[in-house]
Structure 1
Protein backbone atom coordinates (compact mmCIF):
# COMPACT_ATOMS: atom_id res chain seq x y z
CA UNK A 1 0.00 0.00 0.00
CA UNK A 2 2.83 2.39 0.86
CA UNK A 3 4.51 1.63 -2.48
CA UNK A 4 1.29 2.52 -4.32
CA UNK A 5 0.94 5.79 -2.39
CA UNK A 6 4.59 6.66 -3.06
CA UNK A 7 4.15 5.91 -6.78
CA UNK A 8 0.99 8.07 -6.96
CA UNK A 9 2.78 10.91 -5.15
CA UNK A 10 5.70 10.67 -7.61
CA UNK A 11 3.31 10.88 -10.55
CA UNK A 12 1.63 13.98 -9.13
CA UNK A 13 4.95 15.68 -8.39
CA UNK A 14 6.35 14.88 -11.82
CA UNK A 15 3.27 16.22 -13.57
CA UNK A 16 3.52 15.66 -17.29
CA UNK A 17 7.32 15.62 -17.28
CA UNK A 18 8.83 14.82 -20.66
CA UNK A 19 10.87 16.33 -23.45
CA UNK A 20 9.53 19.71 -24.45
CA UNK A 21 9.29 21.19 -27.91
CA UNK A 22 9.63 24.76 -29.06
CA UNK A 23 6.35 26.36 -30.10
CA UNK A 24 6.04 30.12 -29.92
CA UNK A 25 2.82 31.65 -28.64
CA UNK A 26 0.13 31.98 -31.27
CA UNK A 27 -1.53 34.94 -29.53
CA UNK A 28 -0.66 38.56 -30.13
CA UNK A 29 0.20 40.49 -26.94
CA UNK A 30 -1.62 43.74 -26.21
CA UNK A 31 0.13 46.90 -24.99
CA UNK A 32 0.48 45.41 -21.49
CA UNK A 33 2.40 42.45 -22.95
CA UNK A 34 -0.41 39.99 -22.11
CA UNK A 35 -2.15 38.07 -24.92
CA UNK A 36 -5.71 39.07 -25.76
CA UNK A 37 -8.45 36.51 -26.33
CA UNK A 38 -11.81 36.51 -28.08
CA UNK A 39 -13.57 35.34 -24.88
CA UNK A 40 -12.60 37.35 -21.81
CA UNK A 41 -14.30 37.41 -18.42
CA UNK A 42 -13.56 38.76 -14.99
CA UNK A 43 -12.15 36.47 -12.33
CA UNK A 44 -15.56 36.58 -10.60
CA UNK A 45 -17.33 35.51 -13.81
CA UNK A 46 -14.92 32.59 -14.33
CA UNK A 47 -15.39 31.48 -10.70
CA UNK A 48 -19.18 31.48 -11.14
CA UNK A 49 -19.04 29.53 -14.40
CA UNK A 50 -16.41 26.90 -13.58
CA UNK A 51 -16.16 24.24 -10.88
CA UNK A 52 -13.36 24.72 -8.34
CA UNK A 53 -11.16 22.18 -10.15
CA UNK A 54 -11.89 23.68 -13.59
CA UNK A 55 -11.07 27.16 -12.28
CA UNK A 56 -7.82 25.92 -10.72
CA UNK A 57 -6.72 24.19 -13.94
CA UNK A 58 -8.02 26.61 -16.59
CA UNK A 59 -7.47 29.98 -14.91
CA UNK A 60 -4.59 29.28 -12.48
CA UNK A 61 -2.64 26.82 -14.69
CA UNK A 62 -3.05 24.07 -12.13
CA UNK A 63 -2.75 20.32 -12.63
CA UNK A 64 -5.38 17.79 -11.62
CA UNK A 65 -4.16 14.64 -9.84
CA UNK A 66 -3.08 11.88 -12.23
CA UNK A 67 -5.67 9.22 -12.99
CA UNK A 68 -8.65 11.23 -11.73
CA UNK A 69 -10.20 12.48 -14.95
CA UNK A 70 -13.56 11.02 -15.98
CA UNK A 71 -12.52 11.28 -19.64
CA UNK A 72 -9.21 9.46 -19.22
CA UNK A 73 -10.63 6.09 -20.37
CA UNK A 74 -13.27 7.52 -22.73
CA UNK A 75 -13.13 5.75 -26.11
CA UNK A 76 -16.29 7.14 -27.72
CA UNK A 77 -16.19 9.09 -30.98
CA UNK A 78 -16.64 12.84 -30.74
CA UNK A 79 -14.76 16.01 -29.98
CA UNK A 80 -13.17 17.42 -26.83
CA UNK A 81 -14.00 21.09 -26.26
CA UNK A 82 -12.72 23.73 -23.85
CA UNK A 83 -14.66 23.49 -20.59
CA UNK A 84 -14.62 27.30 -20.34
CA UNK A 85 -15.71 28.42 -23.84
CA UNK A 86 -16.70 25.27 -25.81
CA UNK A 87 -14.02 25.74 -28.48
CA UNK A 88 -13.24 22.44 -30.24
CA UNK A 89 -9.69 21.45 -29.23
CA UNK A 90 -9.10 17.74 -29.91
CA UNK A 91 -10.84 15.05 -31.97
CA UNK A 92 -11.42 11.64 -30.41
CA UNK A 93 -9.34 9.96 -33.13
CA UNK A 94 -6.32 11.96 -31.86
CA UNK A 95 -6.65 10.49 -28.34
CA UNK A 96 -4.46 7.63 -27.13
CA UNK A 97 -3.46 6.00 -23.84
CA UNK A 98 -0.01 7.36 -22.96
CA UNK A 99 0.04 5.73 -19.53
CA UNK A 100 0.73 9.16 -17.96
CA UNK A 101 -2.53 9.38 -16.00
CA UNK A 102 -3.82 12.34 -18.03
CA UNK A 103 -5.82 12.37 -21.27
CA UNK A 104 -3.33 12.43 -24.15
CA UNK A 105 -3.67 13.39 -27.79
CA UNK A 106 -1.14 13.20 -30.63
CA UNK A 107 -2.32 16.49 -32.20
CA UNK A 108 -4.65 19.44 -31.66
CA UNK A 109 -7.28 21.00 -33.89
CA UNK A 110 -5.09 23.55 -35.66
CA UNK A 111 -5.79 27.17 -34.78
CA UNK A 112 -7.79 26.38 -31.64
CA UNK A 113 -4.87 25.62 -29.33
CA UNK A 114 -2.11 28.15 -28.62
CA UNK A 115 1.35 27.53 -27.17
CA UNK A 116 3.77 29.30 -24.82
CA UNK A 117 7.04 28.43 -23.14
CA UNK A 118 6.72 27.60 -19.43
CA UNK A 119 9.62 27.52 -16.92
CA UNK A 120 7.44 27.13 -13.79
CA UNK A 121 9.13 23.94 -12.57
CA UNK A 122 12.69 24.93 -13.40
CA UNK A 123 13.05 23.76 -16.99
CA UNK A 124 11.58 24.64 -20.35
CA UNK A 125 8.22 23.08 -21.31
CA UNK A 126 5.66 23.90 -23.98
CA UNK A 127 2.41 24.95 -22.32
CA UNK A 128 -0.80 24.76 -24.31
CA UNK A 129 -3.95 26.77 -23.80
CA UNK A 130 -7.24 27.47 -25.52
CA UNK A 131 -6.64 30.02 -28.29
CA UNK A 132 -10.11 31.54 -27.74
CA UNK A 133 -10.27 32.07 -23.96
CA UNK A 134 -6.68 31.45 -22.83
CA UNK A 135 -7.61 28.59 -20.50
CA UNK A 136 -4.64 26.40 -19.49
CA UNK A 137 -4.91 22.89 -20.93
CA UNK A 138 -1.60 21.18 -20.17
CA UNK A 139 1.74 20.67 -21.89
CA UNK A 140 3.10 19.18 -25.11
CA UNK A 141 6.02 16.75 -25.20
CA UNK A 142 7.95 14.99 -27.96
CA UNK A 143 7.49 11.49 -26.54
CA UNK A 144 4.21 10.64 -28.28
CA UNK A 145 3.42 8.00 -30.90
CA UNK A 146 6.17 7.97 -33.52
CA UNK A 147 3.79 6.49 -36.13
CA UNK A 148 1.77 9.73 -36.12
CA UNK A 149 3.13 13.09 -34.91
CA UNK A 150 5.55 12.06 -32.16
CA UNK A 151 3.76 14.52 -29.87
CA UNK A 152 2.00 13.93 -26.57
CA UNK A 153 -0.49 16.64 -25.67
CA UNK A 154 -0.79 15.92 -21.95
CA UNK A 155 -4.09 17.57 -21.06
CA UNK A 156 -5.98 18.06 -17.81
CA UNK A 157 -9.37 16.37 -18.16
CA UNK A 158 -10.91 19.17 -16.06
CA UNK A 159 -10.08 21.58 -18.90
CA UNK A 160 -12.18 19.58 -21.35
CA UNK A 161 -15.76 18.56 -22.04
CA UNK A 162 -16.55 15.67 -24.35
CA UNK A 163 -19.22 16.03 -27.01
CA UNK A 164 -20.18 12.66 -28.58
CA UNK A 165 -20.45 12.58 -32.38
CA UNK A 166 -24.23 12.08 -32.29
CA UNK A 167 -24.68 15.31 -30.27
CA UNK A 168 -22.94 17.52 -32.85
Structure 2
Protein backbone atom coordinates (compact mmCIF):
# COMPACT_ATOMS: atom_id res chain seq x y z
CA UNK A 1 0.00 0.00 0.00
CA UNK A 2 1.36 3.40 -1.02
CA UNK A 3 1.56 6.28 1.45
CA UNK A 4 1.77 8.97 -1.27
CA UNK A 5 -0.81 11.72 -1.45
CA UNK A 6 -3.83 10.57 -3.53
CA UNK A 7 -4.01 13.96 -5.21
CA UNK A 8 -0.40 13.75 -6.38
CA UNK A 9 -0.99 10.17 -7.54
CA UNK A 10 -3.94 11.33 -9.62
CA UNK A 11 -1.91 14.25 -11.00
CA UNK A 12 0.95 11.89 -11.92
CA UNK A 13 -1.46 9.45 -13.57
CA UNK A 14 -3.01 12.23 -15.67
CA UNK A 15 0.41 13.54 -16.69
CA UNK A 16 1.51 10.03 -17.66
CA UNK A 17 -1.61 9.53 -19.73
CA UNK A 18 -1.32 12.93 -21.41
CA UNK A 19 2.39 12.39 -22.11
CA UNK A 20 1.47 9.63 -24.54
CA UNK A 21 -0.99 11.89 -26.39
CA UNK A 22 0.64 14.18 -28.93
CA UNK A 23 -1.90 16.51 -30.48
CA UNK A 24 -0.66 17.47 -33.93
CA UNK A 25 -2.55 20.05 -35.96
CA UNK A 26 -4.54 18.23 -38.60
CA UNK A 27 -5.75 20.18 -41.64
CA UNK A 28 -8.71 17.86 -42.19
CA UNK A 29 -11.12 19.03 -39.55
CA UNK A 30 -14.42 17.33 -40.14
CA UNK A 31 -15.86 17.18 -36.62
CA UNK A 32 -17.95 20.03 -35.26
CA UNK A 33 -18.15 20.76 -31.55
CA UNK A 34 -20.67 23.24 -30.20
CA UNK A 35 -21.02 24.62 -26.71
CA UNK A 36 -23.01 27.29 -24.99
CA UNK A 37 -21.64 30.44 -23.36
CA UNK A 38 -23.17 33.37 -21.55
CA UNK A 39 -23.57 36.76 -23.20
CA UNK A 40 -20.64 38.12 -21.17
CA UNK A 41 -18.44 35.16 -22.17
CA UNK A 42 -19.33 35.67 -25.83
CA UNK A 43 -18.38 39.36 -25.65
CA UNK A 44 -15.10 38.47 -23.93
CA UNK A 45 -14.31 35.85 -26.59
CA UNK A 46 -15.13 38.28 -29.40
CA UNK A 47 -12.89 40.97 -27.90
CA UNK A 48 -9.99 38.51 -27.62
CA UNK A 49 -10.53 37.15 -31.12
CA UNK A 50 -10.64 40.46 -32.95
CA UNK A 51 -8.77 39.83 -36.20
CA UNK A 52 -8.55 36.07 -35.52
CA UNK A 53 -11.08 33.36 -36.28
CA UNK A 54 -12.75 32.24 -33.06
CA UNK A 55 -12.15 28.59 -33.87
CA UNK A 56 -8.42 29.24 -34.41
CA UNK A 57 -8.20 31.15 -31.11
CA UNK A 58 -10.01 28.46 -29.12
CA UNK A 59 -7.97 25.69 -30.75
CA UNK A 60 -4.71 27.52 -29.98
CA UNK A 61 -5.65 28.10 -26.34
CA UNK A 62 -6.97 24.58 -25.83
CA UNK A 63 -4.16 22.65 -27.49
CA UNK A 64 -1.25 25.02 -26.70
CA UNK A 65 -0.65 25.99 -30.32
CA UNK A 66 0.90 29.34 -31.09
CA UNK A 67 -1.75 32.03 -31.26
CA UNK A 68 -2.37 33.06 -34.87
CA UNK A 69 -1.37 36.57 -35.89
CA UNK A 70 -4.11 39.12 -36.01
CA UNK A 71 -5.07 40.25 -39.46
CA UNK A 72 -4.57 43.95 -39.86
CA UNK A 73 -7.60 45.65 -41.27
CA UNK A 74 -6.77 48.64 -43.41
CA UNK A 75 -9.49 51.27 -43.80
CA UNK A 76 -11.11 51.30 -47.24
CA UNK A 77 -9.80 54.79 -48.01
CA UNK A 78 -6.23 53.74 -47.21
CA UNK A 79 -6.63 50.59 -49.30
CA UNK A 80 -7.80 52.60 -52.30
CA UNK A 81 -5.01 55.16 -51.94
CA UNK A 82 -2.44 52.38 -51.58
CA UNK A 83 -3.81 50.63 -54.68
CA UNK A 84 -3.62 53.80 -56.78
CA UNK A 85 -0.13 54.57 -55.52
CA UNK A 86 0.91 51.08 -56.56
CA UNK A 87 -0.51 51.66 -60.05
CA UNK A 88 1.31 54.98 -60.37
CA UNK A 89 4.56 53.37 -59.20
CA UNK A 90 4.13 50.61 -61.79
CA UNK A 91 3.61 53.22 -64.53
CA UNK A 92 6.70 55.14 -63.43
CA UNK A 93 8.73 51.95 -63.35
CA UNK A 94 7.55 51.10 -66.88
CA UNK A 95 8.55 54.58 -68.12
CA UNK A 96 12.00 54.17 -66.56
CA UNK A 97 12.43 50.78 -68.21
CA UNK A 98 11.32 52.14 -71.58
CA UNK A 99 13.73 55.09 -71.35
CA UNK A 100 16.63 52.82 -70.41
CA UNK A 101 15.82 50.41 -73.24
CA UNK A 102 15.53 53.27 -75.78
CA UNK A 103 18.89 54.64 -74.67
CA UNK A 104 20.53 51.20 -74.90
CA UNK A 105 19.13 50.64 -78.40
CA UNK A 106 20.23 54.09 -79.54
CA UNK A 107 16.67 55.28 -80.17
CA UNK A 108 16.99 58.03 -77.56
CA UNK A 109 20.14 60.02 -76.88
CA UNK A 110 21.11 60.20 -73.21
CA UNK A 111 21.13 63.98 -72.87
CA UNK A 112 20.73 66.05 -69.72
CA UNK A 113 16.94 66.34 -70.17
CA UNK A 114 16.55 62.54 -70.26
CA UNK A 115 18.82 62.18 -67.22
CA UNK A 116 16.88 64.85 -65.32
CA UNK A 117 13.56 63.20 -66.19
CA UNK A 118 14.85 59.79 -65.08
CA UNK A 119 16.03 61.26 -61.78
CA UNK A 120 12.62 62.89 -61.22
CA UNK A 121 10.91 59.56 -61.93
CA UNK A 122 13.15 57.84 -59.36
CA UNK A 123 12.45 60.57 -56.81
CA UNK A 124 8.69 60.23 -57.32
CA UNK A 125 8.97 56.45 -57.03
CA UNK A 126 10.80 56.82 -53.70
CA UNK A 127 8.10 59.21 -52.44
CA UNK A 128 5.36 56.77 -53.44
CA UNK A 129 7.08 53.93 -51.58
CA UNK A 130 7.38 56.14 -48.52
CA UNK A 131 3.68 57.07 -48.70
CA UNK A 132 2.71 53.41 -48.92
CA UNK A 133 4.88 52.62 -45.87
CA UNK A 134 3.24 55.45 -43.95
CA UNK A 135 -0.21 54.10 -44.82
CA UNK A 136 0.83 50.68 -43.57
CA UNK A 137 2.29 52.14 -40.37
CA UNK A 138 -0.87 54.16 -39.78
CA UNK A 139 -2.89 50.97 -40.03
CA UNK A 140 -0.55 49.09 -37.69
CA UNK A 141 -0.44 51.89 -35.12
CA UNK A 142 -4.24 52.19 -35.09
CA UNK A 143 -4.44 48.41 -34.57
CA UNK A 144 -1.99 48.57 -31.65
CA UNK A 145 -3.97 51.47 -30.13
CA UNK A 146 -7.14 49.39 -30.45
CA UNK A 147 -5.38 46.46 -28.74
CA UNK A 148 -4.35 48.71 -25.84
CA UNK A 149 -7.97 49.71 -25.16
Tell me the TM-score range normalised by the shorter chain: under 0.3
Question: What is the TM-score with the length of structure 2 in the denominator?
Answer: 0.17
- Which structure's CA Rg is the greater one? 2
Structure with the largest fraction of helix: 2
Higher relative CO (Cα under 8 Å, sequence separation at least 6) belongs to 1
Higher strand share: 1
